[in-house]
Amino acid sequence: MTLSIQGKTAIVTGAANGIGLAIARHFIDRGANVMFADRDKARLADECGDIEDDKGQVRYFAGDLREKLTIENLVSATVDAFDGIDILVNASRQVLRTDVLDPSDNTVATLLDQNMMTALRLSQAVARRMIARAEDQERPAEGSIGSIINISSIAARRTHPDLMAYSIAAAALDQATRSLALALAPHRIRVNGVAFGSVMSASLKAALAETEGLREDIRHCTPMGRIASAREVTGAVQFLASEGSGFVTGEVITVDGGRTLLDNVGVAAH
């Protein structure tokens, strides 16, 4: 079994910080070409400027991927830079608290658009390019021609009233992962997800600063007794991106230190 992604080209969204940045850097270290994508142009420029790039492995693209034209521009920029796309990691996500009794609260619609619809639209655009490239190159009829990986959350299964919108969006993304896997399997494109538990992301850092006792609550309800670093979860994404998972599609792998083995419904799933 090979986990190599050497020479592959990947788009990683949400790559300006947190989990997305950790995945993008991990891919660079493993020899992949990576397009870092995010809305934060200044942060992208800083992060990409810090990466040694003697081989031309790194590019970045700044834009709001909720806009369809921006998605097409990202895909075109990646193909122009690296001649194709082999891997897409949809790691861009937002966490917002929901007031379930406020009729003006729009967090469900906001997070469905940001966390699920953006990933779906980008996956569709990338899949079209993967299929067109495979046809142009007359690739062998065996093996996959591309891998799409959606970064999800255990909040799809373990929720909290304050994070209702985030949980709904995560559940929708998991279902989109399975549906896309079926739709794209005949085209030899694999679609999988990784559902994280408590990983030290930008949103969790903010929550820990705002909520007294949250760190201890998370530690208590996680059998491994701690919050994971972003670097600890990148291996699962590499596995799904590589030919080592060549017969895996439609799966959502859980990386949570055992948290979903317990029934601590009173603690928000970050």
Q: Would you list the DSSP string of 216-247?
A: HHHHHHSTT-SPBPGGGGHHHHHHHHSGGGTT
* Closest-CA residue to 248 (of 19, 66, 61, 1): 1
pLDDT in tens, 206-251: 888 888 888 898 888 899 999 998 888 899 999 999 999 999 999 9
pLDDT in tens, 35-67: 999 999 999 999 998 887 777 899 999 999 999
Given a contact cutoff of 8 angstroms between Cβ atoms, the answer to whether 162 and 98 are in contact is yes
The Cα–Cα gap between 179 and 97 comes to: 28
Question: Looking at domain 9-261, what is its CATH homologous superfamily?
Answer: NAD(P)-binding Rossmann-like Domain (3.40.50.720)
In degrees rounded to 5, what are phi and psi of residue 54?
Answer: -65, -25
- Res 129: pLDDT: 97
Residue 199 is given by DSSP the state: B
- Res 263: pLDDT: 62
- Res 246: pLDDT: 95
Q: Which residues of the chain have pLDDT under 50?
A: none
Specify the 3-state DSSP secondary structure of 121: helix
Tokens of 8: 């592959």
How many Cβ atoms are within 10 Å of 133's Cβ, its own excluded?
17
The Cα–Cα gap between 102 and 188 comes to: 45
The Cα–Cα gap between 166 and 195 comes to: 13
Enumerate the domain spans of the chain: 9-261
- Res 192: pLDDT: 98
Tokens of 1: 């079994």
Is residue 243 packed enough to be buried (19+ CB in 10 Å), middle (13-18) or exposed (0-12)? middle
**How open is the CA angle 266-268-270, to the nearest 5 degrees?**
155
Given a contact cutoff of 8 angstroms between Cβ atoms, the answer to whether 150 and 191 are in contact is yes
Given a contact cutoff of 8 angstroms between Cβ atoms, the answer to whether 113 and 71 are in contact is no
Given a contact cutoff of 8 angstroms between Cβ atoms, the answer to whether 218 and 227 are in contact is yes
Helices (H), the chain: 18-29, 41-49, 68-82, 107-111, 118-137, 164-184, 202-210, 214-221, 234-241
The Cα–Cα gap between 173 and 175 comes to: 5
Residue whose structure tokens are 């998605």: 71
Given a contact cutoff of 8 angstroms between Cβ atoms, the answer to whether 149 and 92 are in contact is no
- Number of helices (H), then strands (E), belonging to the chain: the values are 9, 7
Whole-model pTM? 0.93
- Res 265: pLDDT: 52
